[in-house]
Structure 1
Amino acid sequence: MRRILYGFIGSVLLLLTSCMSSDLVENWKNPEIDLFAAEKVLVLAMTNDVENRQRFEKKLVDELEKKGVNAVVSDQFFDKEYTQRPHTQEELDLLENAMLEEGFDAILVSKIIGAEDRKSLLQSYDGFDTLFNSFEEDYYTNQKIYAEDEYMDVYTVYHAESALYCICPTKERETIWKGSIDITQPESTRKAIKDYIKILLWVLEEQQLLIINDGKGI
């Protein structure tokens, strides 16, 4: 039954991501947590690109609020100068206490952790489902492979990561969930953000995290 369930989830995810620039690579959920319903979530994108950080956080907050989750962008909590220098563990402890005083009980953090260039055999892949009647037909159709520059496509894959942490008085920023998502050849930054958030929310819902108090998922 578990294999069937995993296969079903995988099929749904494949359909979801087939026309998107983001793909779920892996995700981990704290085995000690079945459900998690936060009263107030701080959304934080860690990047020095202020414009795209604000765009990402606002889009994610808007989508969460549509689903009944009380979420807040980081600019409403952090001072403008806060990210301008590194902070000590003691300072972060004070920050967590400030979050608790403001009613936050969870923080959803997202960031780009790396990038790599890849090559795609576009023409070869395009013909994968073609059934050739003969060797001559196969060779004639695919002989452009010998001219590598004509069918090799170089593209960049960005490796991103999101994590949901509990801001709890009795625990030290306990990890509730963590996921890795690859971003590939987005048509635009706006589409990349939209696709990433769609995958992120889908996974959180499947894992029964950030559910609203009436018991319905996000």
Structure 2
Amino acid sequence: MKRIFVIIVLLVFTACSSIKFVDSWRNEEISTFKPKKLLVVGMTDNLTARKFFEEELKKSFGLHGIYAEESTNVFDKTFTKSKKSEDEVNEMIEEIADNGFDAVIISAVKGVDKKISYPSNYYSVGYRWSHFGHYYFRFQDVYYDPGYYESYKVYTVETSIYNLNEDDGKSLVWVGSLNLIDPQTISSTVKEYVAKIIKQLESEKLIEKQ
């Protein structure tokens, strides 16, 4: 019975997504999002992750009839490694607008939280918790075995879409916040993240469902 229970738990946790959608906001004045040329920007120093993310998002928008281009084909490789002044940012916006881009989607990590958990057999079948002694005996390893704890990180990532043809008060089209829970590989994390973004944009009817 215990072995069956463990298998069920493993299946449940394996099925759970490692990316959780937290919240989003959309500009109600915009009914649909159909730019002529969209610039995809991943704000990370990890060039491999940046390229993989931008290519995956470009491909997904392409399936929805939206032409997109990766920032790695527009900016130099050091683009995300140095701070820029407000004037430099404005010049950059003018430059990409002159190159025909009318919208930008940008993703960046907004924060990282370190979490600590420990494995628990609290729900083991047939075990009674009516006495303090039973509870303490069962969980004393939590306090006396440092290796019992497992640490992991949760990354809060924000994705925003801007219309370059509007003024500051109307340029923000959509913004969404997601939590990446202890990501392990770039490829699987990026694919799941992009899928979450596209699904949310579909559900909010900014882009058509495929």
Normalised to the residue count of structure 1, the TM-score between the two structures is 0.75
Q: Which runs of 5+ in 2 are unaligned?
A: 1-13
Please tell me whether the aligned partners of residues 105 and 161 of structure 2 are also in contact (alpha carbons under 8 angstroms).
Answer: yes
CA distance in 1, matches of 2:132, 2:72: 58
Paired residues in the alignment total 194
Determine what percentage of the aligned residue pairs are the same residue.
26
Give the structure 2 partner of residue 217 of structure 1.
Answer: 209
Instruction: Give the drift of 1:133.
Output: 7.5
Instruction: Give the drift of 1:121.
Output: 4.2
User: How do 1:39-188 and structure 2 match up within 5 A?
Assistant: 39-124=36-121, 127=123, 132=126, 134-135=128-129, 143-148=137-142, 149=145, 152-168=149-165, 170-172=166-168, 174-188=171-185
CA 1:61–1:137: 2 relative to 1, 3 Å: farther
Please tell me whether the aligned partners of residues 99 and 167 of structure 1 are also in contact (alpha carbons under 8 angstroms).
Answer: no
Q: Which amino acid aligns with 1:49?
A: N
2:20 maps to 1:20: no
Please state whether the residue corresponding to 2:120 is helix, strand or coil.
Answer: helix
Q: Which runs of 5+ in 1 are unaligned?
A: 1-16
Please tell me whether the aligned partners of residues 129 and 135 of structure 2 are also in contact (alpha carbons under 8 angstroms).
Answer: no
Please tell me whether the aligned partners of residues 124 and 145 of structure 1 are also in contact (alpha carbons under 8 angstroms).
Answer: no
Please tell me whether the aligned partners of residues 44 and 73 of structure 1 are also in contact (alpha carbons under 8 angstroms).
Answer: yes
Please state whether the residue corresponding to 1:52 is helix, strand or coil.
Answer: helix
Structure with larger Rg: 2
Please tell me whether the aligned partners of residues 42 and 106 of structure 2 are also in contact (alpha carbons under 8 angstroms).
Answer: yes
Please give the per-residue CA displacement for 1:17-48, whole angstroms capped at 9, x wherever unaligned. 95322111111112333322222111000111
Please state whether the residue corresponding to 2:32 is helix, strand or coil.
Answer: coil
Normalised to the residue count of structure 2, the TM-score between the two structures is 0.78
